[in-house]
């Protein structure tokens, strides 16, 4: 059984992080695209040729009884209202990151989805980055022992890239921090205390271009997530320290680089990491011998998120991103702006 899907928005996000993966999945049929802006002919033509309808009337999507699922790929400030309209139209919805601006809005949409009997989920595709999958694999295999510290980075050298004022949703913490924190929430659950340093280190009154955030857990685990736009030397994407050893991984997931180069999912070698960037584990085994070895990077696949959505909708499997995780992610974002940085936020136990 295939699902008929519609997109709200047809920009870079839709064409880079979603549609290339759906194009090779027969379980999904792109039925309609709503966009307010004119669409480039070269982008639209392959979909027009297969019968996709492009429209500038949102009601064409909302009122179509054949559409099962809607993906929202629009600016963050529009997510809440658009998602609410989709849910009220009794359609399941995937919302690009960040899901919404506040915990209040996240809880409202998730509750409304339950009331209407439809799936509501944020698009946390970075759970399927190869570099993250390598860290997840190493942690779950257990040879590092008890995990004590994890550090996760996204670094650039792009002076002047972030220099304009705006809302918190337009800054780097909402834009990139959501990825880094969601993956740690998926691994370790809800932290107890969070320490924030969020700022723009070039232009004082601009939205943030830098963050350094520590998530503290009960069992002595600390997770650091960090991003900046003035990092000129390469830093590991992940550093993991455990009681039996450490794991360090350089190099970003290769899916985006391949997509930019015109290499599509399903092509030979798509998303493969270079061996020079394989992570290195240094640990002692049960005999007390020190082992140092490269760990081959798993191949990432953002389309796996849609495979999970299909299983949830068709086979009633649990959601890939639980409601608790969705709400925790937004709480971690929103709490970073409750006080001027630097600040500390205490999380209470999760309440559904």
List, for residues 287-313, the tens digit of each pLDDT value: 889 999 999 999 999 999 999 999 999
Q: Is the pLDDT of residue 28 over 80?
A: yes
Q: What is the 3-state secondary structure (H, E, C) of 313-335?
A: HHHCCCCCCCHHHHHHHHHHHHH
**What pLDDT does 286 receive?**
84
The token pair at 73 is: 């790929």
List, for residues 165-193, the tens digit of each pLDDT value: 999 999 999 999 999 999 999 999 999 99
Angle at the Cα of 23 (from 1 to 187), degrees rounded to 5? 85
Q: What is the secondary structure of 227-288 as a DSSP string?
A: EESB--S---SEEEEESSEEEEE-S--SHHHHHHTTPPTTSTTTTPPPGGG-EEEEEE-TTS
Quick one: which of 121, 188, 122, 123 has its CA closest to 152?
Answer: 188
Domains identified in the chain and CATH numbers: 3-123 (3.40.50.720), 126-304+331-346 (3.30.360.10)
> What mean pLDDT is predicted for residues 18-30?
96
Cα torsion 260, 3, 325, 300: sign: negative
Distance CA(263)–CA(335), nearest Å, equals 39
Q: Which residues contact 80 (CB under 8 A, 6 or more apart)?
A: 100, 101, 105, 109
Neighbouring C-alpha atoms within 13 Å toward the C-beta of 179? 18
Percent of residues, the chain, with pLDDT higher than 70? 100
Query: Could you tell me the pLDDT band of residue 25, with boundaries at 50, 70 and 90?
Result: very high
**What pLDDT does 160 receive?**
92
Distance CA(36)–CA(56), nearest Å, equals 5
Query: Could you tell me the pLDDT band of residue 222, with boundaries at 50, 70 and 90?
Result: very high
List, for residues 113-167, the tens digit of each pLDDT value: 999 999 999 999 999 999 999 999 999 999 999 999 999 999 999 999 999 999 9
Q: Taking the model in full, what pTM does it have?
A: 0.95
| Neighbouring-strand partners of residue 227 | 154, 211
**What pLDDT does 230 receive?**
96
């Amino acid at each position: 059984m295939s699902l008929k899907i519609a997109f709200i928005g047809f920009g870079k996000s839709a064409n880079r992080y979603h549609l290339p993966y759906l194009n090779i999945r027969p379980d999904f049929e792109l039925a309609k695209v709503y966009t307010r802006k004119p669409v480039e002919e070269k982008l639209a033509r392959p979909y027009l040729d297969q019968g996709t309808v492009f429209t500038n009337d949102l009601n064409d999507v909302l009122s179509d009884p054949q559409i099962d699922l809607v993906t929202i790929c629009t600016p963050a400030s529009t997510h809440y209202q658009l998602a609410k309209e989709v849910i009220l139209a009794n359609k399941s919805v995937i919302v690009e990151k960040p899901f919404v601006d506040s915990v209040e809005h996240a809880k409202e949409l998730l509750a409304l989805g339950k009331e209407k009997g439809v799936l509501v989920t944020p698009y946390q595709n970075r759970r399927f980055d190869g570099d993250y999958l390598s860290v997840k694999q190493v942690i779950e295999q257990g040879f590092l022992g008890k995990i004590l510290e994890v550090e996760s980075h996204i670094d650039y050298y792009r002076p002047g890239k972030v220099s304009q004022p705006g809302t918190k949703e337009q800054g780097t913490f909402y834009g990139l921090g959501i990825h880094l924190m969601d993956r740690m929430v998926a691994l370790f659950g809800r932290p107890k205390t969070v320490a924030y340093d969020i700022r723009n280190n070039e232009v004082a009154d601009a939205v943030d271009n830098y963050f350094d955030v520590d998530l503290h857990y009960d069992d002595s685990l600390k997770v650091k997530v960090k991003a900046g736009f003035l990092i000129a030397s390469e830093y590991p994407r992940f550093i993991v320290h455990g009681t039996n050893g450490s794991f360090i991984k350089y190099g970003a997931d290769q899916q985006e680089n391949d997509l930019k180069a015109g290499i599509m999912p399903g092509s030979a070698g798509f998303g493969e990491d270079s061996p020079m960037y394989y992570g290195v584990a240094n640990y002692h085994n049960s005999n007390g011998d020190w082992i140092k070895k490269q760990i081959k990077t798993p191949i990432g696949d953002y389309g796996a998120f849609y495979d999970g959505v299909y299983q949830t909708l068709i086979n009633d499997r649990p959601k890939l991103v639980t409601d608790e995780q969705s709400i925790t992610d937004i709480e971690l974002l929103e709490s970073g702006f409750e006080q001027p940085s630097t600040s500390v936020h205490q999380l209470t136990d999760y309440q559904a």
